[in-house]
Amino acid sequence: MVFVVDSSDRASIGDSQKALKNVLSDDNMKGIPLMVLANKKDLHNTMNIREVSNQLELPSYKDRAWQIQACSGLKGMGLQQAFLSVAKLIKKSREETRQWRYHCVRDT
């Protein structure tokens, strides 16, 4: 899942955190990898990725792989790297799922 947040809008980061938590609490989202794009990197006085990560409570999501990437949708900065990382997250998630299924089958 890709979640985009406006890193220049400190006033609405709490709403973003609640929205993310709501989406990820759905049973269908269990274990789905998460990429957070902290958009508007090109502006001054934006939150850095550590601040965005803490505000969104990303470290509390222990049930999934997640990454955060600063980017600028307007200028295209960081987007290529972000989507390369998304591909890696998906591949890693699939491999872990396959290994889990293999162990379940072998243990029965």
> pTM higher than 0.75, yes or no?
yes
The reply, when asked if residue 18 is annotated as ligand binding, is no
Mean residue pLDDT across the chain: 89
What's 98's domain CATH number?
3.40.50.300
Taking residues 1-30, report their average pLDDT: 96
pLDDT at 44: 94
How many domains, the chain? 1
DSSP string, 60-93: G-TTS-EEEEE-BTTTTBTHHHHHHHHHHHHHHH
What tens digit of pLDDT does each residue of 27-75 get?
Answer: 999 889 999 999 999 999 999 999 999 999 999 999 888 999 999 999 9
pLDDT at 98: 61
The reply, when asked if residue 39 is annotated as ligand binding, is yes
Within a 10 A sphere around the Cβ of 102, how many other Cβ atoms?
10
106: amino acid identity, one letter: R
Taking residues 94-102, report their average pLDDT: 62
The reply, when asked if residue 62 is annotated as ligand binding, is no
Within a 10 A sphere around the Cβ of 49, how many other Cβ atoms?
18
Q: Which domain holds residue 79?
A: 2-107
> What is residue 46's three-state secondary structure?
coil
